[in-house]
Homo-oligomer: A and B are copies of this chain.
């Protein structure tokens, strides 16, 4: 299994980057490098987050990427008049979107995927989740709930005032700023979690028993090393926050704790600190 993972990683990283940009977005180069430098992970796709304006075919207003014209793409904050100029070229259904950071990493073992998933959730990427394929490929998808999707034109005709586009650009830029803060938090939490993991492995040379310990939440504290306790602390905080979210959502709405229904209190507070 480990050998197969090593082969998968070699194949994936030696493959040409077939994305439009043919390179990793600059805002997440350090995140991608950190993951690919770990024997237990490699990234399969990523985007640092972007503000896009796509022009859908009139008869297919529920945007379809193929047959879509990309009128504007920015991986940084943008100016409202750039959006105004771009939307002027619309001949169909132009939609302004903010698409947050997304990253897919293949993981060697399930506990590697769990660690990455915990770090993602703890960093505010609440739509993150695992995929376990029947061929044994384990992928952690790091996803945010942080979005914006605003139709701007219909059959090429602008539906809103320029002032509204200016306001939308401010909102999109705010979301981009928050997105970059979350990426920073994710990178920092990932570094901490990985170094804690390494320390733990140094302290407990036998991998199976190490994994056994991870799966046993009822071991007495006295059995735990300092590094492990640190990791416990990180993980516990994640699960505490998730329990808190679940309770909150039960009383607040019918959506689940990973729904796309806006940031949680802790996410919102980050906007103002």
> DSSP majority for the A interface?
mixed
Say whether A18 contacts B251, CB under 8 Å: yes
Say whether A257 contacts B45, CB under 8 Å: yes
With A20-B254, A257-B45, A268-B60 given, is the CB distance from A164 to B160 under 8 Å? yes
Interface size class of chain A, counting residues whose CB lies under 8 Å from the partner chain: 35 or more
The answer to the question of A210 belonging to the interface, with a C-beta cut-off of 8 Å to chain B, is no
The answer to the question of A204 belonging to the interface, with a C-beta cut-off of 8 Å to chain B, is no
Give the residue among A19, A50, A100 with the most B Cβ atoms within 10 A: A19
Q: How many chain copies? A: 2
Say whether B239 contacts A133, CB under 8 Å: yes
Contact with B along A43-65 (1 / 0, CB 8 A): 01111001010100000111111
The answer to the question of A255 belonging to the interface, with a C-beta cut-off of 8 Å to chain B, is yes
Say whether B129 contacts A114, CB under 8 Å: no
- A contacts, CB < 8 Å to B: 18-21, 25, 44-47, 50, 52, 54, 60-66, 68, 97, 99-100, 102-104, 110, 113-114, 117, 127-136, 141, 143, 147-151, 154, 159-161, 163-164, 167-168, 171, 174-175, 178, 214-215, 217, 235, 239, 246, 248-263, 265, 268, 271-272
